[in-house]
Amino acid sequence: MKAGPNIAAIAALVGDPARANMLTALMTGHALTATELAHEAGITLQTASSHLAKLHDGGLLTLRRQGRHRYFSLADNDVAQVLEGLMGLAARAGHLRARPGPREPALRNARVCYDHLAGDQGVRLYEALLSNKLLSVRSETATLTSHGKTFVTDFGVNLAPLESARRPLCRLCLDWSERRMHLAGALGAAFLHRFYELKWARREDGTRVVTFSKRGAEAFSALLA
Amino acid sequence: MKAGPNIAAIAALVGDPARANMLTALMTGHALTATELAHEAGITLQTASSHLAKLHDGGLLTLRRQGRHRYFSLADNDVAQVLEGLMGLAARAGHLRARPGPREPALRNARVCYDHLAGDQGVRLYEALLSNKLLSVRSETATLTSHGKTFVTDFGVNLAPLESARRPLCRLCLDWSERRMHLAGALGAAFLHRFYELKWARREDGTRVVTFSKRGAEAFSALLA
DNA sequence: CAAATGCTTCGATTAGGATCGAAGTATGAA
DNA sequence: TTCATACTTCGATCCTAATCGAAGCATTTG
């Protein structure tokens, strides 16, 4: 017997197909109700309720009661990151879902990872910030340079509330498709939110796919130049 | 049904206690035989054989036949990283192993993560390299600065074979205990190897714990200063 | 208040897979 | 060739946990 945390319990939680489907659905970053998650996983409400209780007990989900609804979401970005890691291993092992479908390439190009942009475009954003010296990396949390702060503010993101919040401003997250780092944390979320706001991009309903409009893609490229 | 890799299959592999024990044992980075792993997990050889076949099929383990032994090891650092991530979630959820024991603090201080140094000391090393500008981070793979190359060579690491190898020289890895980045990749492995060589540190038998000698700890601190 | 919606708990069924004994295969040593 | 070691395969057993129907609880709406 070895010392250390018991990973089997947590992994077993993710290891059930129904639960894995629910967790995958929550990777959009949206909070979903028990009913929605049951539908997503293709099981009855009773079964879903039991699964959700387990996931909640295991610390993978947070629960927000609102009226007669119970909204579940991923506990935090750490959970999302482990799920992305598992996706990486699964993709490599060739354990792709039944039908890769036409969405697969779109998913690799740009997708929501909990609440920030991942995929090829997510990596592009992160790398551009680095090479333009707007971001400097040190330990897990990157920090904005003074140039970076100006840049972000000019782009229309209000930094003050983000900086005072408990959540780290900049964090790094590893892609399963790109196998490279991209920007997470409050700033990562703020960027994606601003892209939506400017109508540069939008989320495909019920999926993690993010599509850039023609104008949005051009503006995005110009921003990174 | 969502698009994307099937994480349930992989997670289920890790989700069985016997298999999780084997994987945890392999986090030392040492290759182990089926018999050793069976003993480690507390199961018979037949059962272990079946589990190992599944882990191998799932791409989590690599197999090296040597004589009448079959040596299993983790497929690569990606697998180790996901396991570390799971440990982080498990530790947080309070799902610690039966008895934390006196090894737990030692494990947090310094331990082997696949083949490089993790824990508090691992983070110290990484941060010192960064703040002394011996290492610069960009995307997932950090790179040695020219000062860094001199430093590493002076320390007694032969860089040439590492640089020409297929394995990335510097990679980053996230701790479950420290929740911070530390140095992995060929260079991370080389550092740990050199620490052993200089007798600054040694591995506790059968565990992931790394203990620094008094002289070793002093020398290590001096190196990072 | 009653009715409807959203979710949980209980109980019974069922299926998958973890386990080990026994027998079989492969490699090495004598 | 014979024996021993290292491991795999087969088959039977057993147990956990996933599942859903039915009933119960909570909250909102009318």
- Does the ipTM exceed 0.85? no
For the stretch B86-124, pLDDT in tens is: 999 998 876 544 444 445 778 888 888 888 898 889 888
Q: How high is the pLDDT of residue B170?
A: 80
A95 CA – C18 C1', rounded, Å? 23
| One-character DSSP codes across B2-15 | --SB-HHHHHHHHH
Strand partners, A71: A33, A64
Domain residues for B66?
Answer: 7-75
For the stretch A164-194, pLDDT in tens is: 777 778 877 766 666 567 888 889 999 999 9
Which of B2, B7, B176 is the best residue to mutate to test the A interface, defined by the most A CB atoms within 10 Å of its own CB? B7
Which chain B positions have a beta carbon within 8 Å of A42's beta carbon? 1
**Residue from the list A7, A25, A103 with its beta carbon closest to the beta carbon of B86:** A7
Q: Does some domain include residue A213?
A: yes
Q: How high is the pLDDT of residue A22?
A: 95
CB pair distance less than 8 Å for A138 and B131 = yes
B22 CA – C12 C1', rounded, Å? 36
Q: How high is the pLDDT of residue B97?
A: 47
The count of domains in chain A is 2
Please list the ranges in chain A whose pLDDT falls under 70: 1-4, 94-103, 138-141, 174-180
**Same domain, yes or no: A179 and A115:** yes
Tell me the C-alpha to C-alpha distance, in Å, between residue A23 and each of A11, A32, A215, B203: 12, 10, 33, 38
**Same domain, yes or no: A116 and A182:** yes
Q: How high is the pLDDT of residue A174?
A: 67
For the stretch B169-221, pLDDT in tens is: 887 776 666 656 788 888 999 999 999 999 999 988 777 889 999 999 999 99
Counted residue by residue, chain A has a size of 225
Q: How high is the pLDDT of residue A97?
A: 46
Q: Does some domain include residue A57?
A: yes
CB pair distance less than 8 Å for B130 and A107 = no
Q: How high is the pLDDT of residue B21?
A: 94
One-letter-per-residue 3-state SS of chain A: CCCCECHHHHHHHHHCHHHHHHHHHHCCCCCEEHHHHHHHHCCCHHHHHHHHHHHHHCCCEEEEEECCEEEEEECCHHHHHHHHHHHHHHHHCCCECCCCCCHHHHHHHCEEECCEEEHHHHHHHHHHHHHCCCEEECCCCEEECHHHHHHHHHCCCCHHHHHHCCCCCCEEEECCCCCCEEEEHHHHHHHHHHHHHCCCEEECCCCCEEEECHHHHHHHHHHHC
For the stretch B114-162, pLDDT in tens is: 888 988 898 889 888 988 889 887 655 578 899 999 999 999 999 888 8
**Same domain, yes or no: A136 and A209:** yes
Q: Does some domain include residue A139?
A: yes
Indicate which CATH number applies to the domain containing B56.
Answer: 1.10.10.10
Q: How high is the pLDDT of residue B6?
A: 87
The chain B residue lying nearest A25, using CA atoms, is B2
Which chain A positions have a beta carbon within 8 Å of B19's beta carbon? 8
Q: Does some domain include residue A205?
A: yes
**Same domain, yes or no: A71 and A112:** no
The Cα–Cα gap between B57 and A51 comes to 28
B46 CA – C21 C1', rounded, Å? 10
Q: For residue A17, which of A89, A80, A98 has the smallest C-alpha distance?
A: A98
The chain A residue lying nearest B55, using CA atoms, is A93
Q: How high is the pLDDT of residue A139?
A: 53
Which chain B positions have a beta carbon within 8 Å of A94's beta carbon? 59
**Same domain, yes or no: A71 and A156:** no
Q: How many other C-beta atoms are found inside a 10 Å radius of the C-beta of residue A158?
A: 10
Query: What is the amino acid identity at position A191?
Result: F
**Same domain, yes or no: A216 and A113:** yes
The SS3 of residue B182 is strand
**Residue from the list A7, A91, A138 with its beta carbon closest to the beta carbon of B20:** A7
**Same domain, yes or no: B48 and B118:** no
Q: Does some domain include residue A97?
A: no
The Cα–Cα gap between A129 and A172 comes to 13
pLDDT (average), residues B19-32: 90
Q: How high is the pLDDT of residue B225?
A: 84
The Cα–Cα gap between A149 and A141 comes to 15
> Contact B210/B112 with Cβ under 8 angstroms?
yes
Q: Does some domain include residue B1?
A: no
Tell me the C-alpha to C-alpha distance, in Å, between residue A197 and each of A31, A155, A201: 20, 12, 8
List all nucleotides in chain D with at least one atom under 7 A from a protein Cβ. 5-10, 17-23, 26-29
Q: How many other C-beta atoms are found inside a 10 Å radius of the C-beta of residue B45?
A: 12
The SS3 of residue B97 is coil
**Same domain, yes or no: B31 and B115:** no
Taking each helix axis from N to C end, the angle separating B77-92 and A77-92, rounded to the nearest 10 degrees, works out to: 150
**Same domain, yes or no: A152 and A55:** no
A65 CA – D27 C1', rounded, Å? 11
> Contact B48/B41 with Cβ under 8 angstroms?
yes
Gyration radius of chain B over CA positions: 18
Verify if strand C has an atom below 7 Å from the CB of B47. yes
CA A45 vs. chain centroid, Å, equals: 26
**Residue from the list A86, A98, A127 with its beta carbon closest to the beta carbon of B7:** A86
**Same domain, yes or no: A68 and A120:** no
List all nucleotides in chain C with at least one atom under 7 A from a protein Cβ. 5-10, 17-23, 26-28
Instruction: Give the position of tokens 């995929």.
Output: A119
CB pair distance less than 8 Å for B5 and A127 = no
Q: How high is the pLDDT of residue B100?
A: 43
The chain B residue lying nearest A80, using CA atoms, is B85
Percent of chain B whose pLDDT exceeds 70:
88
Smallest CA–C1' separation from B19, nucleotide? C18
**Same domain, yes or no: A185 and A134:** yes
Tokens of A54: 């387990």
Q: How high is the pLDDT of residue A68?
A: 76
Q: Does some domain include residue A91?
A: no
What is the H or E stretch that residue B185 is in?
helix B185-197
The chain A residue lying nearest B138, using CA atoms, is A130
Smallest CA–C1' separation from A43, nucleotide? D19
Chains A, B: CB pairs < 8 Å? 219
Q: How high is the pLDDT of residue B108?
A: 82
Q: How high is the pLDDT of residue B139?
A: 52
Query: What is the amino acid identity at position A127?
Result: E
> Contact B178/B196 with Cβ under 8 angstroms?
no
**Same domain, yes or no: A112 and A52:** no
Q: Does some domain include residue B93?
A: no
DSSP for residue B181: E
